[in-house]
Amino acid sequence: MIHTRLGFFALILLLASGTAFAQTDSSALRKEDPPIPVEEIIKKFADKEKQFKEARANYVYRQDVMIQELNANDRVVGEYRLVSDILFDEKNRRTERIVRAPQPTLQGIQVTSQDLQDIRDIQPFVLTSDDIQKYKLSYVGKEKIDEVDSYVFDVEPKVIEKGQRYFQGRIWVDDVDSQIVKTYGKAVPDIRDDKGNENLFPRFETYREQIDDYWFPTYTRAVDTLNFSTGAKRIRQVIRYENYRKFVADVKLTFGDAVEGETAGKAGTAPSGKAPALDPKLDQKTKKKKNN
């Protein structure tokens, strides 16, 4: 989302200052010491997140992205929509098949490659043992998300390297499964250049739902005001991740006679994950909430 001097604005917002993000309602946060050392909690969930990242890479699912431009009364004046299936091709390579992509009607904002990268990599935030050294984590306390008792951490990048995207905000980690169940924050850094172009990014919330043995991102929501140098732009973003199914690659086993797997190249029969209908203004739960 690039805003130029000619008045072409960039999308997703927010000029956020400070190193930590306060949740809109922190009344449920309990400032209590954890039962085990914080370093041990971080190591456990970072290791489990790495396992989850590897597992998710073997799932197919549908991704439904909607970005809306709003006026001062929060009425929709333009929309970007992209529905795609994340699949594997005949060579078992990850691929994306566009299901629906109507002509965008956005007027003062534009979806950029950085926005699409953040949708892919930052908003369904996964913090693995491979990446944990890039971030500073501060233990905040404990809080229940739905009925899931969670450790709460503020997260910020230690160093921002040119051309790299990072998460800055807050995460909730299930104290039993040692996985992230909710994320609140934004992708950083915001981008400005000496030609007057601006690419700003919004605060967002991502909720996960338990599917099979892991917590998968199923819903992301952002409602924010993009404060460009030439004026503010208000946007709403909703992303749903649906119908998670485990992928089964081509299998050929030989025990005397060659036997080909009957499910070659098809998705398996793992239960599908449906995006919860959420409205963070009502409460903060990982599932079973009212759609916006």
- Whole-model pTM? 0.77
Per the CB < 8 A criterion, the answer to whether 177 and 151 are in contact is no
Instruction: Give the whole-angstrom CA distance, residue 181 versus residue 175.
Output: 10
- Residue 222 sits at φ, ψ, to 5 deg, of -140, 130
Q: Where are the domains of the chain?
A: 61-131+186-267
Question: In the chain, how many H helices and how many E strands?
Answer: 2, 15
The contacts of residue 188 (CB under 8 Å, 6+ apart) are 16, 157, 160, 165, 166, 167, 168, 201
Q: How many Å separate Cα 133 from the centre of its chain?
A: 20
- Check residue 249 and give its pLDDT: 66
Answer yes or no: are the C-beta atoms of 229 and 9 closer than 8 Å.
no
Among 11, 3, 9, CA closest to 186: 11
Q: Residue 10's pLDDT is what?
A: 33
* pLDDT value for 45: 98
User: Two tokens at 14?
Assistant: 């927010």
Separation in Å, CA 207 to CA 58, 155, 267: 20, 17, 24
Residue 31, token pair as written in the block: 């400032």
- Nearest CA to 223 among 275, 262, 184, 167? 184
Strands 203-211 and 214-228: antiparallel
Give the pLDDT of residue 1.
Answer: 64
What is the model's pLDDT at position 192? 87
User: Which stretches in the chain have pLDDT values below 70?
Assistant: 1-26, 249-292
Is 204 in a helix, a strand, or coil?
A: strand
What confidence score (pLDDT) does residue 268 get? 40
